[in-house]
Amino acid sequence: MFERARKSMIGGVPMNWMIEWPGRFPIFAKAGVGSKITDVDGHTYVDFCLGDTGAMFGHSPKATVDAAARQMRKGITMMLPTEDSIRVGEELAHRFGLPYWQIAMTATDANRFALRMAREATSRRKILVFNGCYHGTVDETFVRLVDGKVVPREGAMPPPVDPELTTKIIEFNDLQALEQALMGGDVAAVLMEPVMTNCGIILPEEGYLEGVREITRRTGTVWIIDETHTWCAGPGGYSAAHHLKPDMITLGKPVAGGIPAGAFGVSQEIFDKTIGNMLAETTGVNGLGGTLTGNALALAAMRATLEKVITRKAYDHMIPLAERFNEGVEGTIQETGLPWHTVRLGTRVEYRFGATPPKNGAEAIAAKDPLLNKYVHLYDLNRSILLTPFHNMALMSPYTTRKDVDVHTRVFRESVEELTT
């Protein structure tokens, strides 16, 4: 199939990340159901990748599928709001603590719109992100910190403008650097994950996020929290679990059970500062939304997913499994004395090739071991386990079982034994 696909698809895949799976070709999926994927050769895999978070609550959750199927017979996209949208707005406001929401197509989209709103609210142009971040293919955020300078991310196709014009970048867990970067009063927004997840999991140090809130508030900078991945911490994301009070929140991936959708929420203050231009006669060209954004199908799927899938009960099943996964890996690491460690955030667990957890992006990037990474992923793949290709990161779903976790614990142990003997 891969040979045939290469004749019509760039790289043989419909989206270029899919060639990052280990081996000479990606497996082609026949079906994904619950916590399992079956490929076209009939192999069944325990899936800890879960669509890199898009299917964090399992493949084709029944409530989402039923609601989406019903809506598909009643209009997919109509350029009109449906009643479902009200329930989605109410539910997001209730969970995440921000009063007003709009829908986006993806988390990338949500971030792009959030930054635009922040610029509108502050009349400032620059944004600030953290070294090692990923917020989707948003040009201003596609950067790295090298020798104290902001540069385009390695491997990225060229940006439209030099990121020095659009972006400031600092290391995570450094309040002094944040203070310095925001002092000039030229930064519209700080966009961040409250726990970094895209160069491995990096936890905030005690008091760090409270410090970010205080400095952003004092300097009139909009604080945007991207909960796309950190939603694994609980039903209202890391923000609700840790009582954070950002000005805006963005999310996407699992919000409609895998059907494309994202969302961003704003505080009363941001709403008051932006609503004028949002609802002006020129609203169709204010730079937010798109023809298919907020379509009836996505909203039906979001409503069902929020009401019936992304529930406290689901987390109560998923978190103990993540703890079990963590203990299994940690046990092998300790017994073998390898200088590795594990980190867990709610339903997300990761193991890293270094003795101590990195505290910022620079440390995380320096600790990467691409060859070892490939080894672990290929070893797992050949033994019917899917781990996200870009990380050693496992997600638990409401369908994941203790047996699934124990299969990984056994295979992980075998992979380490082969490596060390």
Ligand X SMILES: Cc1ncc(COP(=O)(O)O)c(C=O)c1O
Place of tokens 């059970």: 257
By CB under 6 A, residue 253 contacts ligand X: yes
Question: What separation in angstroms does the CA of 166 have from each of 127, 142, 151, 183, 233?
Answer: 6, 11, 11, 16, 31
Q: Give the side-chain half-sphere CA count within 13 A for 209.
A: 19
φ, ψ for residue 130 (rounded to 5)? -115, 140
Give the interface segment with ligand X, choosing from 91-99, 224-232, 338-346, 409-417 (CB under 6 A).
224-232
Pick the closer one to ligand X by CB: 26 or 54. 54
Q: Give the side-chain half-sphere CA count within 13 A for 7.
A: 3
Give the interface segment with ligand X, choosing from 149-157, 226-234, 312-320, 408-416 (CB under 6 A).
226-234
Pick the closer one to ligand X by CB: 198 or 342. 198
Q: Could you tell me the smallest distance in angstroms from the CB atom of residue 418 to ligand X?
A: 31
By CB under 6 A, residue 226 contacts ligand X: yes
By CB under 6 A, residue 237 contacts ligand X: no
Place of tokens 């910190």: 145
Q: Could you tell me the smallest distance in angstroms from the CB atom of residue 217 to ligand X?
A: 23
Q: Could you tell me the smallest distance in angstroms from the CB atom of residue 32 to ligand X?
A: 17
Give the interface segment with ligand X, choosing from 106-114, 283-291, 298-306, 402-410 (CB under 6 A).
106-114
Give the interface segment with ligand X, choosing from 57-65, 225-233, 325-333, 408-416 (CB under 6 A).
225-233
| Contact mark string toward ligand X, 113..142, x via CB under 6 A | ---------------------xxx------
Q: What DSSP assignment string belongs to 323-368?
A: HHHHHHHHHHHHHHT-S-EEEEETTEEEEESSSS--SSHHHHHHT-
Pick the closer one to ligand X by CB: 108 or 173. 108
Report the run of H or E that residue 189 belongs to, with start and end: strand 187-192
The Cα 340–Cα 328 span in angstroms is 13
Q: Quick one: tokens of 101?
A: 């929401």
Binding interface with ligand X (CB under 6 A): 106-108, 111, 134-136, 193, 198, 226, 228-229, 252-253
